Amino acid sequence: VLIFIIMCAALAMSQFMRAALSVVAPDIIADTGLALDQYGTLAGAFFFGIAAAQIPTGILLDRFGARVTVALMQLLAAAGTIAFVLFDGFWAMFAARFITGMGFASALMGGLVLAARWVPKDRFAQVAGTLIAASQAIGLLLAATPMAALSAVEGWRAAFLLAALVTVLTSMAVWSMVRDAPP
């Protein structure tokens, strides 16, 4: 159970990062001077990164397992988020969001790989569905009012820095507590 709670947290951060950009759009646009079309493209960079990393992520999951792959890729996602906070230009911010997306590419598939290894076949769909539903609910809820409130008080950059910190913490939890297969 603990493994799936941790994987739910990792996937929730991916869902959070996917949605948080839209919540603080006015703040980021005002701060960086991005045009609306640039901002829309910036939002898509996250998904481009996830898409670009799918095949390499599958290879890494097969070769090194979910624990190593997810933990290290979560660190990549945190690094991309920190870079996003530090940059102002469109292309630099695009690259940072792309890297963030690449880093989160393993969150869903890592959880599904673990479910396939830990859960009886007749319960796989239930566990996988619960993992996806719970992580989406948590991630999207945190990306709404809490993100908007924190951004209003501390600014969007501080809010994303906090998200990067939480991503690092999920990486550490995956590294220290997740096991790729039952003993």
- Say if residue 60's pLDDT is above 90: yes
- Say if residue 35's pLDDT is above 90: yes
Percentage of the chain modeled with pLDDT above 90: 97
Of the pLDDT bands very low, low, confident and very high (cuts 50, 70, 90), residue 183 is confident
| pLDDT of res. 1 | 85
- Say if residue 44's pLDDT is above 90: yes
Q: Mind listing the pLDDT tens digit for each residue in 80-130?
A: 999 999 998 999 999 999 999 999 999 999 999 999 999 999 999 999 999
Contacts of 81-85 with CB under 8 Å at 24 or more apart are: 81/17, 81/160, 81/161, 81/163, 81/164, 81/167, 82/161, 82/164, 84/160, 85/157, 85/160, 85/161, 85/164
> Could you identify the residue written with the tokens 């911010």?
93
